[in-house]
Amino acid sequence: MLHIEGLTKQYKTDEVELFALKNINVHVSKGEFVAIVGPSGSGKSTFLNMLGCLDRPTSGSYVLDGIEVTRLKDKELAGVRNQKIGFVFQSFNLLPRATSLRNVEIPMLYAGVGMAVRKKRATAALQRVGLGQRMGHKPSQLSGGQRQRVAIARALVNQPSIVLADEPTGNLDSRSSMEVMSIFQELHAQGVTILLVTHEADIAQHAERVITFKDGCIIKDEQVIDRLFATASEEVILT
User: Distance between CA atoms of 43 and 14, rounded to whole angstroms?
Assistant: 20
Q: What is the CA radius of gyration of the chain?
A: 19
The option from Mg ion, ligand ADP, none interacting with 43 (CB < 5 to 8 A, set by class) reads ligand ADP
Residue 150 near residue 104, CB atoms below 8 Å? yes
For the CB of residue 45, give the shortest distance to ligand ADP in the complex, in Å: 3
Q: Site for ligand ADP (CB under 6 A): which residue of 4, 28, 37, 42? A: 42
Q: Are strands 162-166 and 85-88 parallel, antiparallel or unpaired?
A: parallel
For the CB of residue 20, give the shortest distance to ligand ADP in the complex, in Å: 3
Residues 145-174 contacting ligand ADP, CB under 6 A: none
- Residue closest to Mg ion (Cβ): 45
The option from Mg ion, ligand ADP, none interacting with 204 (CB < 5 to 8 A, set by class) reads none
Q: Site for ligand ADP (CB under 6 A): which residue of 5, 6, 11, 233? A: 11
Q: Fill in the DSSP letter of residue 140.
A: G
Q: Are strands 59-64 and 2-12 parallel, antiparallel or unpaired?
A: antiparallel
For the CB of residue 46, give the shortest distance to ligand ADP in the complex, in Å: 3
For the CB of residue 145, give the shortest distance to Mg ion in the complex, in Å: 21
User: Distance between CA atoms of 37 and 167, rounded to whole angstroms?
Assistant: 10
User: Distance between CA atoms of 155 and 33, rounded to whole angstroms?
Assistant: 16
Q: Is the dihedral of CA 82, 43, 152, 3 positive or negative?
A: positive
Q: CB-wise, 11 or 229, nearer to ligand ADP?
A: 11
Contact footprint for ligand ADP (CB under 6 A): 11, 13, 18, 20, 38, 40-46
